[in-house]
Chains A and B, each alone.
Chain A
Amino acid sequence: MQKFSFNRRLVIIIVCLIVSFALMTVSVAVRNKRSTPPLIQQFGNDIVGLTDRIVALPANGLSGSVSSISELLNTYQENQQLKKQVSELAQTKVRDQTLAKENKQLKQQVKLNDSLTDYSAISAAVITRTPSSWQNQVVINKGSSAGVVKNMPVMSGSGLVGRIAEVNKTNSKVELITDNNDSANRFAVQITTKSGKTVNGVLSGFNADSGQITMNNITTKAKISKGDKVVTSGLGGVTPKGLYVGQVAKASGDDYGLSTKLYITPATDLSDLNIVTVAVTKQ
């Protein structure tokens, strides 16, 4: 019996390994190709997501109240600084409104309904985060029933933070741009340089040590300098034009001296997300 059971154990281990490989391959393929996961997985995730809220809501509320107390301490200083900014902002806002109105009228004249910059926003709360070091991924409380579609860009505060990786009925997973897998942070972006030239490109990765987004293979002659703003270009799909990504921190030649490599400081603090906005393009 003992000899037999050893063989059987070996067989079980090998079968488990093979099944595990197969399941992983299938689920990665499904994740990359299909717009929504299989119905059973969606259903399961919805139920788990609802139960998770029982734990997540008190926990997040508790952390919210603790952080609001600590924020109270430096409110006075912040208030003084912000007052200055607000008076400047009022000016910009009025101008922005006038321009937006003018833009709308001009669009009507040329009979242009929706351009790349038009999008509507769905705001969502972060329920939980994947407890794994390999996936920087959060679960948000809006899903396909609220109009979320796979690959939509997600913003928080002033800038882009990631994209929708998986959509269930009532919750969805967001891959943050800090995630370094093959598909997480490939956004089409553009940079307007100081001389007014536009440089197009694709984000290529995230440098975890410096906390900066990298952008490779730029072959333009235009001079990109520190502080130039990087926004999404709206090319190639569901990302609208003009979402703020960050500022250029450093421009340097790549390893072979043929093209330029950029380091971009992200606009938002990516480690502390509570409320996010999903940008929905009108199509």
Chain B
Amino acid sequence: MYRLSKLRFGFPIGLLLMLFLDGSISQIFSAHLFRPSATMVSHLVVLWLIAAVLFEDQYDIPIARWAAAAGAIFDLYYTGIFGVYVFIFPLVVYLTRLLVAYISPNFLSGLLIYFIDITVVETLGYLASRMVHLTSMAGSTFLVTTLGPTLALNLALFVVLYFPIRWVYNWLK
């Protein structure tokens, strides 16, 4: 099924597009997103990956593999420190697959799942950065200045983009 559908090319292209959009959004809105009191990081890549898990139906997309590839590009091109997101992205996909087995996916439960995923991504990213001395921010400060605003931004993006992305996936099938 997957091999015959447009998803075979559409999914990776969308993934790359989202990856680059993350960077462009951060660049264009850097004055608004990266304030010391509230840092918001857009995670459109994660949104695309999670949407793939939610909307794949019986099309078995190799999402985890593509997630690892996206993570590798993220690490090498954006951060320069390899070995962080290359593991976090597939982990999040795996986590979502587990959750979807228990909760049937719809708009609201998708929002809940996405909430958990973004928390995992940001927290693990924070722990990794603490370990390699990229930051010395205290855990409580992280919760207030980064995790909270990032969750707010990404959940807002989820609400706005849920139906457009579902339409894209349906068109690709």
- Spell out A's residues near B (CB within 8 Å): 16, 19-28, 31, 37, 41, 44-45, 48-49, 51-52, 54-56, 59-60, 63, 126-139, 165-166, 173, 180-182, 208-209, 211, 269, 271-273
Contacts and interface: CB of A to CB of B under 8 A. Distances in A.
Nearest to B83: A23
B78 A211 contact: no
A133 B34 contact: yes
Given A48-B76, A165-B80, A208 B36 contact: yes
Contacts of A132: 41, 78-79, 125, 129
Interface residues of B, number: 45
Given A24-B128, A131-B43, A133-B150, A180 B79 contact: no
Contacts, number: 140
Contact of A52 (B23, B36, B75, B129): B23
Identify the interface centre among B23, B41, B129, B133: most chain A CB within 10 Å of its CB. Answer: B23
A45 B34 contact: no
Interface of B: 16-17, 20-28, 30-31, 34, 36-37, 39, 41-43, 73, 75-84, 86-87, 125-126, 128-129, 131-136, 146, 150
Given A129-B26, A131-B26, A134-B129, 18 more contacts: A20-B87, A21-B83, A25-B132, A31-B81, A48-B77, A52-B20, A56-B23, A60-B28, A128-B24, A129-B27, A129-B30, A130-B78, A136-B34, A137-B80, A173-B80, A208-B36, A209-B37, A211-B36
28 contacts: A20-B83, A21-B83, A22-B83, A24-B81, A24-B82, A26-B82, A27-B80, A27-B81, A28-B132, A31-B80, A41-B76, A54-B20, A55-B17, A55-B20, A55-B24, A56-B23, A59-B27, A60-B27, A128-B26, A128-B27, A129-B23, A129-B26, A130-B23, A131-B42, A133-B146, A134-B134, A139-B78, A182-B133
